[in-house]
Each structure stands twice: as structure tokens, then as C-alpha cells.
Amino acid sequence: MTADRKSAYAAKREVKVSVKNLTKKYGDLLVLDNINFDIYKGELLCIVGPTGCGKTTFLNCLSRFIPITEGTIDVDGIPADPHVHNIAFVFQEVSAIPWLTVEDNIRFGLRIKRLPEDEIEKRVERMLDIVGLTKYRTYYPQQLSASMEQRVVIARNFAINPDLLLMDEPYGQLDVKLRYYLEDELMRIWKELGSTVAFITHNIEEAVYLAERILILSPKPSTIKEEVIVDLPHPRQFDDPKFVALRDYVTESIKWW
């Protein structure tokens, strides 16, 4: 992305998350090397890179699940802190809580946040409606299809109105048809709620389909090789020549070093 294009994109946005000089080491192994970038409020950002480049470590640092070696991560101008900020995480494996019903899964994070009970119920009802699971509110995860169970997880995370929603290849283990369906569900919910989302994927087509902007990571020790703006309107068509050109460009940027 050219400097002018990057500046024009950033000028229209408010910074939500600011990452400065992010470095992560495990002993002598340098995994993330002095990474700098912003995530803008209400943005859907995808992060891609070669296998083993440290994408999950990158996301774990953003969530503050693991300590960083050097650098800073600020949310709304103050250091990121799970005790202060609503940072939600959707994992690679479906993580609905098996002994809770659909509605209690959605309530779970809200009760941890100790919201008033009337606010909890209002949010639960809204999310059940948004993800189309009102009829299944008393079902348990094992009674649901894979796509429905993942919708429960997405609803649970969006319900807390996260400052930042981190998604680590959440559809990687699903078949193509389910993945396409859930990608569209994510787009619909994201647009309706205006959340800020950082989405890691190894699937370049998925990144181009979802993202407003793509960060391309280098092999370890990872840095940001390039930022790519995906200035295509939604919904996107996989056979659109502009879509194909962007997909091929990102693929080659990862493939050839």
C-alpha cells in the first residue's frame, strides 16, 4: 500500500488500538520483531502470513493472554488490560460451553462483567435474534449443528460489546459451505454492531472476502511486510476480476520472499 493511500485511509478513521514496537521472544527465539500498526474503530482487519510465522502468538499478544517482551499495546489511548477493556476471543476450536444452554452461553460473559440483570437479558434477546437462534435458546451445544454452535460463540463474544474482537482462524475446521455461510453471518453482525475485529486466517480468499484491510506478516521473526486495502464493496463476488486480482496479489506477497 502506498504511503498516500495509507494516509488517505487512516485520515477517515479513528484509532482504536495502537501497537508500537511489539516484540515477543521465547528465550532466545525471536517470534515477533518490532511490529507497529493501528487498528481503526469499527474496522474488520485480517492478518495473514506463511505457516508458522507466529500469527497466533501475534493475536495472543494483542489479547494480553501472554506477556509481550517489548513494546506497547494501547486501546483508546491507554494500555490494553483485560480487566479494563472488553477484549473477546474466538478460538480455532468451537468453544461453546457444553453444559450451558444457548442463552446461558450468551449470558456467560455478561455475568462475568457483572452487568445489571435487565441489561443482560436485553443483550441476550438481541443477540439471539441477530444470530437467528431464538427458537434454540434452551438447546445445549451438542444438540446443534457445527454452524449453529459457532454462531453461539460469536453471539457470546459480540454480546459484551467488545473493544476488540480477536478471531483466530475460527472457520478453519469447517467445510467450505459452512465457512461461506458463517463468513456472511460475521459480516452481517459486524456491520450491525459496528465492532472492531482482528481476524487471523491462512485462507487468502477468506481474507479478501471479509477484510477492509489486510496485514501481511513475514516469516519468523515476523514483521509486517505490507498493508493492503481491500476497497471492494460488500457483498463481494469471488469471480469479480478485482477480487481475483487482489487475492492473487496477496497470495504472491506471501509466497515469494
| 200 pLDDT more than 80 | yes
**pLDDT 10s digits, 108-121:** 999 998 999 999 99
Can you read off the three cell numbers belonging to residue 257? Answer: 520472499
Q: What is the rounded distance in angstroms from the CA atom of residue 230 to the CA atom of residue 21? A: 25
**pLDDT 10s digits, 8-17:** 888 889 999 9
Q: What does the pLDDT read at residue 172?
A: 77
Q: What is the rounded distance in angstroms from the CA atom of residue 170 to the CA atom of residue 158? A: 14
Q: At 52, is the pLDDT very low, low, confident or very high (cuts 50, 70, 90)?
A: confident
For the entire predicted model, the pTM comes to: 0.88
For the structural domain made of 3-85+163-255, what CATH number should be given? 3.40.50.300
Q: What does the pLDDT read at residue 9?
A: 87
Domain regions of the chain by residue span: 3-85+163-255, 95-161
Supply the DSSP symbol for 210. H
| 1 pLDDT more than 60 | no
Can you read off the three cell numbers belonging to residue 217? Answer: 506478516
| 28 pLDDT more than 70 | yes
Residues with Cβ within 8 Å of 48's Cβ and at least 6 positions away in sequence, in order, are 55, 200, 201, 202, 204, 207, 214, 215, 216, 217, 250, 254
- Does residue 54 contact residue 220 with C-beta atoms inside 8 Å? yes
Share of the chain above pLDDT 90, in %: 63
| 223 pLDDT more than 80 | yes
